A and B are shown apart, each in its own frame.
Chain A
Amino acid sequence: MTDIHAQIDAIPGVDPHAPLLEVSDLHVEFRTRDGVARAVNGVDLVLRPGETLAVLGESGCGKSVTAQAIMGVLDTPPGYVTRGEVRYRGVDLLRLPESERRKVRANRIAMIFQDALSALNPVYSVGFQLGELFRVHRGMSRSDAKLRSIELLDQVRIPAARQRIGDYPHQFSGGMRQRVMIAMALALDPEVLIADEPTTALDVTVQAQIMGLLAELQRQRTMGLILITHDMGVVADVADRISVMYAGKIVEEAPVYDIYARPAHPYTKALLESIPRLDMKGHRLNVIPGLPPALTDLPRGCAFHPRCPYAHDPCRRDPSPRPSHIAPGRTTRCHFWNEVAGA
C-alpha cells in the first residue's frame, strides 16, 4: 500500500505554507418538512499548528454543524453545504471527490464527539475499533495493529491497556471511554483535532483530567485544536483564541484574554455577565432575556437584536453587521461595538 501521506501531499493545490485550516464564508442549511433551517450563515475560521481555537456558543448556534461540515460527516439529506470553502493547507476539501477527501479524514483532520458511549460501536471491542484505523489506512497486520492500539491506550493513560484491549465500550467508565475516543482520533497522528463538546457528558473532575490530557497531547504533537463548547470555564484554561457563535455566525473573535477583559459584542458580554460569581450572593442572577431564534425563521438585520440591550434602529434592518477588524486578531459583528467595549 503506497504511503498515504504521500498520496495526500500529492493532491493538487496542497501548499505546506498555507494555513493549516481555513474556513471561509461557510453556509449550511437543513431542508426539512417544516422549512429550511439556516444553521450556519457565513462562518470564517483560521487555525494554525499548535494553536487552540475555541468555538463558543449555546445549543443550536451551529457550532457542531460547522465541525461536521469541515469533517464532511454532515447528514446529507437533510443537511447541505450551500456556500463557502474549507481549505486544508490550501486545498478546498468541499470540492474534492469523496475518495480523496476520505484520505484526509483521520490522517490529517480528526474529530472526537460528545457522547463516547453512543459514538463508539457497541458490538466491537475497543481493540477492533482502534486497530481498524491501522489496518485500513496503514495496511498493518492484525497483530501489529493490536500492538499499536495498546500503545495508544497507554498514551491516553488507560490503565492495564493490554488486558482491556479486548473489552467493549460499555465496559468502560465515561472518562475512560472519552480517552478511547481521543486515542482513536490521534491514532494516525493528524495535524488538526476537532473536539465537539468532549467533556460535556462528564463530571467536573473527569472534565479537568480530559482537558489536561488533550492539552498535553496537543503540545507534544503541535496539533491544531478546535474546541467546541458552551462552557466558558473550560475555555479559559485551554484556548488561545475564542470565536463566539450565535445563530450560525461568528459574532466575535479575539485572543482569549482580550475577550474576557473587554468583550466587543453584546452577546459575548451578556454571556460573561451571566456567569454566577460568589460575590453575587443575595443578588439576582444575570440572564439573557428571550430565546435564541428559530433557524427556520431568522430575524432581519442582526440576529441578536431582539435580545440585545444595545440594539438601535440599524440593528433591526438588513444587512446584518459585517465583521469589522477592531484590533489585531480581533473582529466583531456589531454596529455599536464601541459602546459595548467602552462601557
Chain B
Amino acid sequence: MSELRAPSTSGGPARHAERRDKPRSLAGDAWRDLRRNKIFWIAAVLVVVVLVMALFPALFTSVDPRDCALSRKNLGASGSAPFGYDFQGCDVYARTIYGARASIEVGVLATLISGAIGLAFGLGAGYFGGWLDAVLSRIIDVVLGIPFLLAAIVLAKRLSHDPQSNGVLAVIVTLGLLGWTTAARVMRSSVIATKSQDYVAAARMLGAGPARLMMRHILPNSVASFIVVLTILLGINIASEATLSFLGIGLKGDAISWGIAINEAGKYVRTAAGPLVWPSLFLALTVLAFIMLGDAIRDAFDPKLR
C-alpha cells in the first residue's frame, strides 16, 4: 500500500473528514470549481448573448439586413449604421447581427448530429469490443484519413447541387458527418476504462443487461469528457461553416452568414475595412466563447488538476 495519494507518492491531505460529513460527487466538485472560474462566467455570458442574438435578432437592430441600396456602397459608419455599409450597400451591423443565426443554427445542429454518431460509435466500439470495435475503429481511421477541410469541401459540393437551396442543410450534414470522430474516440476510451471497473462487474452479476449497464453505470461516468469535446466541437463547427462559406462552398443564395460576409468584404478591404472587421470580430468572439467554455468544463472535471 502506498502513502496517501495526493499528488504522487508523497504524503498529502486526507479526505476522511470530508467524506464523513457529506458525500461529494464528481459532478458536485466540478460545479463548485466551475462556479469559481472567471473564465467560465465570461464564456457563459458571451454564449448567452450570441444565442439571444441568433434567436431574437430584432432585439438588437430594427434594420432589415436585406434592405440594400447600391447608392450606399461602402459608406463608412454613421449614426444609423454604426458599422457602415458593405459593397452592396447593406447595413453591416444588421447583417452581422442576423449572421449569428446561421452560425448558431449550423453549429448546434451539426454538433448534435456528430454527437449522436459519436455516441453510438464510441459506446458500441467500447462496450462490445471485439470485431465490432475493429470495424468501427477502421471506419474512424478512414474518415480521419481524409483531412477535414478537404473532405468537407468534397462532401459539401456533392450535397449542395441543388441551385435553389441556400446550402444550410448541406453544410449541417457535412459538418455533422465529419466531426464525430474525436467524440467517438473519447467516448470509446471512457467506456473501455469504465467497463472494467468493479462496480460494473458487480452490476452485471446482479443481473443487469447490456442496455441497463450502459445507461445507468457506464454512460454517466463517461459523459464528462464527451460533453467537453462536444462544446469545443461546437466552436469548431461555427468556424468551419465560416470557412466553407468563405470558400464559396457553404451557404449561398441569399443566406446571411459571417463567413459569406468575410469572403465578400475581402475584395474591397482597401476601401472599407468595416465589412471585414466586424463580422470577423463577432465570429472570433463566438468561437472563443465556446472553446473557453469547453476548456473551463474540462478543467473542472479533471481530477489531476486538484
Binding site for B on A (CB under 8 A): 28, 30, 32-35, 37, 39-40, 59-60, 62-65, 68, 74-75, 78-79, 113-115, 197, 200, 230, 291-297
Does B25 make an interface contact (CB < 8 A)?
A: no
Chain B residue nearest in CB terms to A28: B11
A275, chain B: closest CB distance, angstroms = 16
A40: B residues at CB distance < 8 A: 11
Assess whether B13 is in contact with A296, with CB atoms less than 8 Å apart: yes
Assess whether A293 is in contact with B16, with CB atoms less than 8 Å apart: yes
Q: Which of B1-9, B59-67, B238-246, B263-271 is the interface stretch?
A: B1-9
B254: A residues at CB distance < 8 A: none
Q: Which 9 A-B pairs have the closest CB atoms?
A: A65-B11, A37-B13, A39-B11, A294-B17, A294-B14, A60-B4, A294-B16, A64-B3, A297-B17
Name the one of A33, A59, A200 contacting B4, with C-beta atoms under 8 angstroms: A59
B48, chain A: closest CB distance, angstroms = 29
Assess whether A64 is in contact with B11, with CB atoms less than 8 Å apart: yes
Assess whether B2 is in contact with A114, with CB atoms less than 8 Å apart: yes
Bound CA–CA A78/B12 (angstroms): 9
Chain A residue nearest in CB terms to B14: A294
A113: B residues at CB distance < 8 A: 9
Q: Given the known inter-chain contacts A59-B3, A114-B2, A200-B1, please indicate yes or no for A64 contacting B13, CB distance below 8 A.
A: no
Name the one of A60, A114, A230, A293 contacting B11, with C-beta atoms under 8 angstroms: A60
B73, chain A: closest CB distance, angstroms = 59
Assess whether B3 is in contact with A60, with CB atoms less than 8 Å apart: yes
Please list 21 pairs of residues, one from A and one from B, whose beta carbons are closer than 8 Å in the complex, sorted by A's number: A28-B11, A30-B13, A34-B13, A34-B15, A34-B18, A35-B13, A37-B11, A59-B3, A60-B11, A60-B14, A64-B10, A65-B3, A65-B10, A68-B10, A75-B7, A113-B9, A291-B16, A292-B14, A293-B14, A294-B13, A294-B18
Bound CA–CA A39/B306 (angstroms): 18
Name the one of B1, B13, B306 contacting A59, with C-beta atoms under 8 angstroms: B1
Q: Given the known inter-chain contacts A59-B1, A59-B3, A230-B1, please indicate yes or no for A296 contacting B14, CB distance below 8 A.
A: yes
B80, chain A: closest CB distance, angstroms = 53
Main secondary structure of the interface of B (DSSP, over half): loop
Bound CA–CA A28/B4 (angstroms): 15
Chain B, 1-59, CB within 8 A of any chain A CB:
1-4, 6-18
B15: A residues at CB distance < 8 A: 34, 294
Main secondary structure of the interface of A (DSSP, over half): loop
Q: Given the known inter-chain contacts A75-B7, A75-B8, please indicate yes or no for A32 contacting B2, CB distance below 8 A.
A: no
A62: B residues at CB distance < 8 A: 11
Bound CA–CA A294/B18 (angstroms): 9
B306: A residues at CB distance < 8 A: 33
Chain B residue nearest in CB terms to A231: B1
A77, chain B: closest CB distance, angstroms = 10
Q: Given the known inter-chain contacts A59-B4, A64-B3, please indicate yes or no for A79 contacting B10, CB distance below 8 A.
A: yes
Bound CA–CA A293/B15 (angstroms): 10
Chain A residue nearest in CB terms to B18: A34
Bound CA–CA A28/B18 (angstroms): 22
Assess whether A32 is in contact with B13, with CB atoms less than 8 Å apart: yes
Interface size on B (CB < 8 Å)?
18
Assess whether A296 is in contact with B17, with CB atoms less than 8 Å apart: yes
A106, chain B: closest CB distance, angstroms = 19
Chain A residue nearest in CB terms to B16: A294
Bound CA–CA A254/B17 (angstroms): 32
A266, chain B: closest CB distance, angstroms = 20
B35, chain A: closest CB distance, angstroms = 14
Assess whether A37 is in contact with B12, with CB atoms less than 8 Å apart: yes
Assess whether A32 is in contact with B4, with CB atoms less than 8 Å apart: no
Bound CA–CA A176/B13 (angstroms): 33
Assess whether A30 is in contact with B2, with CB atoms less than 8 Å apart: no
B14: A residues at CB distance < 8 A: 37, 60, 292-296
Bound CA–CA A73/B18 (angstroms): 29
Assess whether B16 is in contact with A75, with CB atoms less than 8 Å apart: no
B13: A residues at CB distance < 8 A: 30, 32, 34-35, 37, 294-296
Name the one of B6, B9, B16, B18 contacting A114, with C-beta atoms under 8 angstroms: B9
Interface flags for B175-204 (1: CB within 8 Å of A; 0: not) read 000000000000000000000000000000
Assess whether B12 is in contact with A32, with CB atoms less than 8 Å apart: yes
B30, chain A: closest CB distance, angstroms = 14
Most buried by B among A35, A68, A200, A294: A294
Chain A residue nearest in CB terms to B7: A75
Bound CA–CA A79/B8 (angstroms): 12
Most buried by A among B2, B6, B10: B10
A35: B residues at CB distance < 8 A: 13
A75: B residues at CB distance < 8 A: 7-8, 10
Bound CA–CA A117/B161 (angstroms): 59
Bound CA–CA A141/B13 (angstroms): 45
Bound CA–CA A297/B20 (angstroms): 13
A69, chain B: closest CB distance, angstroms = 10
Chain B residue nearest in CB terms to A60: B4
A27, chain B: closest CB distance, angstroms = 13
Most buried by B among A37, A62, A63, A292: A37
Bound CA–CA A40/B15 (angstroms): 17
B211, chain A: closest CB distance, angstroms = 39
Assess whether A200 is in contact with B12, with CB atoms less than 8 Å apart: no
B16: A residues at CB distance < 8 A: 291-294
A114: B residues at CB distance < 8 A: 2, 9
A293: B residues at CB distance < 8 A: 14, 16
Interface flags for B295-306 (1: CB within 8 Å of A; 0: not) read 000000000001
Bound CA–CA A291/B7 (angstroms): 21
Bound CA–CA A116/B157 (angstroms): 57
Chain B, 193-252, CB within 8 A of any chain A CB:
none
Bound CA–CA A332/B7 (angstroms): 32
B17: A residues at CB distance < 8 A: 294, 296-297
A115: B residues at CB distance < 8 A: 2, 9
Chain B residue nearest in CB terms to A228: B3
